[in-house]
Structure 1
Amino acid sequence: MNPLFIPSPEHGVWYLGPIPIRAYALCIITGVFAAIWLANRRWVARGGTSGEVADMAIWAVPAGLIGSRIYHVATDHQLYFGPNGHPINALKIWEGGLGIWGAILGGALAAVFWCRHKKINKRAMADAVAPALLLAQAIGRWGNYFNQELFGKPTTLPWGLKIDQAHRPPGFEEYATFHPTFLYESIWNLSVMGIIIWLDQRFKMGFGRVFALYVMGYSLGRGWVESLRIDPVELQDVGGLRFNEWVSIVLFIVGLVYFVWASRTHPGRQPAYRDDREESQLSESVEDS
């Protein structure tokens, strides 16, 4: 074994009396709060009101968690509904198993409905939130480190991640160190976040273009990281690529097409609120008086 490596944590869960404190959950919670903080700052800078991001998160975060779990269970259904599966385990979200694209879809749907109700320009909100999503994902990925899961191929590089024997997949028992894909993706997300924030400040982008950059940037990195992973997948490879690699390719193209279209048809930024919001607030104030 390579004498230089990243050690895996001895514990991924601690107990406060009978209450388990799971590192996986702490990483997700920390990522959520960090994202709300950053998104709120960006939303206020774009003309929004402080606190609205947190209000939206009350709906978007649970919807995102539900969506991420549904995506994971759907793409790895044999783990829960196969011959040796236990369907009840599909509800045990604390044991790991979240699909980021399901989280984005579920959270986005909840956010869209919330923005419509509050008469907020949903694309303006999406642009404010986009870099914050990368921050949440960068922090949340460390949950995989504590769970010793979703690592990459064996490697002898000095930053290889040592995986305990019990967590090595079948066929790789004799290998000790693997690519730390959680670390690769975390660094990638933070780098893309910084680039997107700089581009947004430099070119004053709006109408969903910042969110499109997020989709493109994350898809590119996720496709690369996915190609390194060796964890078994239930959906068969197509054309030598894993299912999530194809998802990344498709979403990168969608993001690119939207970015080009929005750049040509909607230069600049739109206001944070819809025009009918002021009319609605004015009518409410008249009724109250």
Structure 2
Amino acid sequence: MLSFLASLPSPTIGRLSIGPVGLSAYGLMIALGVVAGTALASKRFEQAGGGSGEELQGVATWSVVGGLIGARLYHVATTWDQFADDLWRIPMVWKGGLGIPGGLLGGIIVGVYVVHRRGLELPTVLTAAAPGIALAQAIGRWGNWWNQELFGRPTGLPWGLEIADDKTPAGFGDAVLFHPTFLYESLWNLGLCVVLVAIDRYRPLRPGRLFAVYLAGYFAGRFWIEGLRIDPTHTIGALRLNQWVALVVVTGALVFLAVDARRNRRHRDDGSHGGAARSLLGDASPSQR
């Protein structure tokens, strides 16, 4: 079906010009992702009866700020050798360099604080936000395509990614094609968004639990996609640092879901037993109560 493809080209520029205004394509993709993800989350929040969409948008605004800071700090901390001799590069996020694990952590911390301050129900916010975050990531990943960064190892597949000579890693020929890991992750996140919406519609979980499903789903995909990448990073044993992070998060999310489900079943069983006992007492005479 894809035999007509010879390769997937990369853009020759990383900035878009609108009259006298220059705009980073990387930043534009992130902004579009934030807008789309917030719109979806706001709509779901209203449908769940958690409050108005404007309330959710206010939370999202602060979460995005916290997420950007956390993502940049994570990237800087894990690639410090790239910044040690030029600290002015640290705030230059438009050139790329955002670590999603740090972004999620920063966004969650700030988001939880804002939700608490505004008196909203955190489980409802988390359930509404989960598919929106996946959608935002699906769109934002295209920023890596514009920057020609974070691609995978060489491939002969018909959708192999072309990379400009000046961005091709040393040791690879000019005609080499690479795995478009940005595309893999974008499609994975888009699929995850659809699955999360379907779960919430047809097999709804208790409030807040859908966010744990999102974490497990996202980092499961991130684990195998990360294994394709060839950009320099810290490794521990045979795995890249982000793969270890993914393993920890997936394990934690699955353990939480399993323990929570078991606790909920036990609670229901205790409730049904208590109801049966009350029924028996209700049938007894007053002297036996």
The CA deviation at 1:173 is 3.9
User: Counterpart of 1:231 in 2: which secondary structure?
Assistant: coil
Contact residue 138 and residue 186 of structure 1 kept, 8 A: yes
The CA deviation at 1:18 is 5.1
Higher RCO (CA < 8 A, seq sep 6+):
1
Match of 1:29 in 2: 31
Contact residue 33 and residue 138 of structure 2 kept, 8 A: yes
The CA deviation at 1:115 is 1.1
For 1:65-214, what aligned pairs fall within 5 Å after superposition? 65-81=68-84, 85-214=85-214
Contact residue 160 and residue 180 of structure 1 kept, 8 A: yes
The CA deviation at 1:207 is 3.5
Cα RMSD after superposing both structures = 1.6
- One-letter amino acid of the structure 1 residue matched with residue 252 of structure 2: V
Match of 2:280 in 1: none
Cα distance in 2 for partners of 1:249, 1:266 equals 26
Stretch moving more, 57-66 or 70-79: 57-66
**Counterpart selection for 2:11 from 9, 12, 24:** 9
Cα distance in 1 for partners of 2:202, 2:5 equals 45
The CA deviation at 1:11 is 1.3
1:128/1:112 Cα in 2 relative to 1: closer, same or farther (>3 Å)? same
Cα distance in 1 for partners of 2:151, 2:236 equals 21
Deviation track 1:157-193 (CA, whole Å, cap 9, x = no partner) reads 1000111111111222445210000000000111111
The CA deviation at 1:242 is 0.2
Match of 1:58 in 2: 61
TM-score by length of 2: 0.87
TM-score by length of 1: 0.87
The CA deviation at 1:104 is 0.7
Match of 1:250 in 2: 248
Deviation track 1:214-244 (CA, whole Å, cap 9, x = no partner) reads 00000110001100000111x2x11210000
Contact residue 208 and residue 262 of structure 1 kept, 8 A: no
User: Counterpart of 1:177 in 2: which secondary structure?
Assistant: coil
Cα distance in 1 for partners of 2:122, 2:175 equals 48
Deviation track 1:20-64 (CA, whole Å, cap 9, x = no partner) reads 211101100000000111001111121122211111122111111
Larger radius of gyration: 2
